[in-house]
């Protein structure tokens, strides 16, 4: 063989894709950016577009799910008309790890202030979320978060982009607070935006008020992929 390694006829076990499969709800929002961040965090991202994509138990087809930002009113209308609300609620109740950013955080909340009349939610996290909390006039607000739970310290803060974002008004029992906005930093804060809860975790459910998928920092996705991997091992 003149010193060359013979080519294997069948893929070696190591070539089989061991990455967790994480669905990205692809009705609206930053689907591509979340998929790229998931790939960078070592997961396989798949688009979830219909109730058929959800017809399985946690771990069969999907090991986890991301609910991106967008407009929670539009997303709940689409989820209802595509018959996806019940299957999603069922998967979350059965323990599927899920991560919601911005509108996704609103959808995962047990209670929502400022909801539209008749708006439906998935629920799951024992918290009260206020929609458009940063003020309708503040379309976009950015801040460098220091949040050790998200791997962000003073030297490596997490750039958080809030777009007509909610915040967590009240976190119930068992809800871990992962990040709050900084109080009184000149030049960045709108009225009353300091000290607000903007990232939480409850068991296999994670939510952020901001959009970590923009800007190429995948620390939040690393954490979620870690949660998904831990749930797979159980």
Summarize as ranges the residues that interact with ligand GLN (CB under 6 A).
69-72, 102-103, 106, 131-132, 163-164
State the Rg of the chain over Cα.
19
Cα dist from 145 to 38, 64, 135, 183, whole Å: 21, 26, 19, 11
In the complex, least distance from residue 72 CB atom to ligand GLN, rounded to whole angstroms: 3
Distance in angstroms (rounded) separating the CA atoms of residues 220 and 4: 43
Taken in order 117, 126, 212, 134, the sign of the CA dihedral is positive
Task: Count CB neighbours of 208 within 10 A.
Answer: 30
Residue 196 CB, nearest distance to ligand GLN (Å)?
A: 15
- Between 50 and 132, CB nearer to ligand GLN: 132
Distance of CA 107 to the CA centre of its chain: 11
Please report how close the Cβ of residue 104 comes to ligand GLN at its closest, in angstroms: 7
Q: Which is nearer to ligand GLN, 169 or 229 (CB)?
A: 169
Chain-centroid distance, C-alpha 202: 12
CB of 30 to ligand GLN, least distance (A): 9
Give CA torsion, residues 87, 122, 60, 52, to 10 deg: 40
Q: Is 170 helix (H, G, I), strand (E, B) or coil?
A: strand
Q: How far is CA 78 from CA 70, 84, 106, 158, in A?
A: 12, 8, 15, 32
Nearer to ligand GLN, 70 or 212 (CB): 70
Question: Tokens representing 134?
Answer: 């940063």
Q: Which is nearer to ligand GLN, 102 or 231 (CB)?
A: 102
Q: How far apart are CA 226 and CA 93, in angstroms?
A: 20
Catalytic center residues: 102, 211, 213
- Least CB distance from residue 20 to ligand GLN, whole Å? 24
Residue 42 or 215 with smaller CB distance to ligand GLN:
215
């Amino acid at each position: 063989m003149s010193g060359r390694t013979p080519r294997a006829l069948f893929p070696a076990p190591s070539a089989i894709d061991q990455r967790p499969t994480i669905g990205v709800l692809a009705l609206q929002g930053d689907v591509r950016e979340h998929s790229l961040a998931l790939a960078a965090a070592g997961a396989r991202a798949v688009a979830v577009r219909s109730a058929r994509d959800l017809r399985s138990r946690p771990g069969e087809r999907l090991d986890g799910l991301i609910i991106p930002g967008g407009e929670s009113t539009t997303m709940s209308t689409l989820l209802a008309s595509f018959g996806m609300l019940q299957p999603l609620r069922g998967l979350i109740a059965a323990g599927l790890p899920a991560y919601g950013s911005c509108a996704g955080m609103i959808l995962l909340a047990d209670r929502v202030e400022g909801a539209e009349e008749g708006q439906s939610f998935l629920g799951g996290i024992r918290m009260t979320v206020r929609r458009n909390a940063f003020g309708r006039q503040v379309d976009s607000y950015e801040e460098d978060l220091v949040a050790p739970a998200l791997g962000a310290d003073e030297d490596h803060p997490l750039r958080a982009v809030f777009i007509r974002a909610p915040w967590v008004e009240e976190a119930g029992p068992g809800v871990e607070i992962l990040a709050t906005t900084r109080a009184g930093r000149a030049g960045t804060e709108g009225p009353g935006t300091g000290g607000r809860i903007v990232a939480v975790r409850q068991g296999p459910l994670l939510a952020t008020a901001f959009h970590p998928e923009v800007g190429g920092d995948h620390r939040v996705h690393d954490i979620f992929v870690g949660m998904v991997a831990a749930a797979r091992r159980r």
